[in-house]
Structure 1
């Protein structure tokens, strides 16, 4: 193990990269691909809680409501989620849109939660309303490359 650690440290010290400025001519010669492709894995340890509050919401009563995912454990991994801006969308192909291509694969590794709740406060209390619980394990493949376009309308 020590040899492996030393080798990794040596390799990291030898690695070198540099960012350089490009003049206008060099910049105009550059080509690339638009959009972002994301692959990520999130692992949740015992006791993980996610609390969300919409601060811009206008509630009927003065209570500040929270969505709480309580006691989240396991992991979720996405592979190949793509986000892109397109500008030739719509019947006349003159609209811009955010194009979201579903991931190629979503892997659930014993992902579960005690419950998803709505109520006042960041932690679940007696006044929180239970919405649902989740328990997922397995793989979801989407080979069709399903695309969702989000665009403004008049």
Structure 2
């Protein structure tokens, strides 16, 4: 049960024109003449900043597996995925915490060269996700497990915890993630 997911994003187009318009003391947009516009440069794309908090205060579940999820012990969210019919479950359990980032960018990029010559053969546009330099992580934790059922309250529930992850601090990222389209377009 996910009791509380909070997602906050700030979207800003990567264009100096929008920055100048927002810095203007006027309540409405005003036109810019050609001379003023000639010194402004911009770039297409989206710049994202955001914060995602998942069950940062824990959830209310109480059962034989979790025990008492009261103020002294708060239980997190559970995500269970069954990869084949009548098979077992892969579980992210006791998932809670928050992370925030500033500077994730999205833009369309044309791939028509590079990649060892494969880019010329590809010759299409891709989605480029520019990774932010830092992601701030606030008490993010989860347990990776396998389970016989989707929920701890289901009949015959047995779970094997494989490992638990706890992250608190900054994660440094570098580079871009390219998302290639599929199909024949």
Query: With structure 1 as the length reference, what TM-score do the two structures score?
Result: 0.57
| Matched positions, count | 117
Unpaired runs of 5+ residues, structure 1, are 1-16, 19-31
- Cα distance change, pair 153–108 in 1 and its aligned pair in 2 (3 A): same
Which of 104, 128, 133 pairs up with 1:104? 133
Q: Find the aligned partners of 1:36 and 1:121 in 2 and give their Cα distance.
A: 41
2:46 corresponds to: 36
Secondary structure at the counterpart of residue 35 of structure 1: strand
Secondary structure at the counterpart of residue 140 of structure 1: strand
Secondary structure at the counterpart of residue 139 of structure 2: strand
The superposition leaves residues 76-105 of structure 1 with CA deviations (integer Å, 9 ceiling, x where unpaired) of 112211222223344327222121211121
User: Is 1:127 aligned to residue 158 of structure 2?
Assistant: yes
Secondary structure at the counterpart of residue 158 of structure 2: coil
Query: With structure 2 as the length reference, what TM-score do the two structures score?
Result: 0.49
Q: Find the aligned partners of 2:46 and 2:151 in 1 and give their Cα distance.
A: 34
Q: Find the aligned partners of 1:120 and 1:36 in 2 and give their Cα distance.
A: 43
Deviation at 1:36, TM superposition (A): 2.8
- Cα distance change, pair 34–117 in 1 and its aligned pair in 2 (3 A): farther
User: Is 1:71 aligned to residue 81 of structure 2?
Assistant: no
> What RMSD in Å do the two structures reach over aligned CA positions?
3.2
The superposition leaves residues 31-89 of structure 1 with CA deviations (integer Å, 9 ceiling, x where unpaired) of x75433222212222223141547xx6x2xx3265443222233211221122222334
Deviation at 1:134, TM superposition (A): 0.7
1:139 corresponds to: 170
Unpaired runs of 5+ residues, structure 2, are 1-26, 29-41, 59-74, 114-118
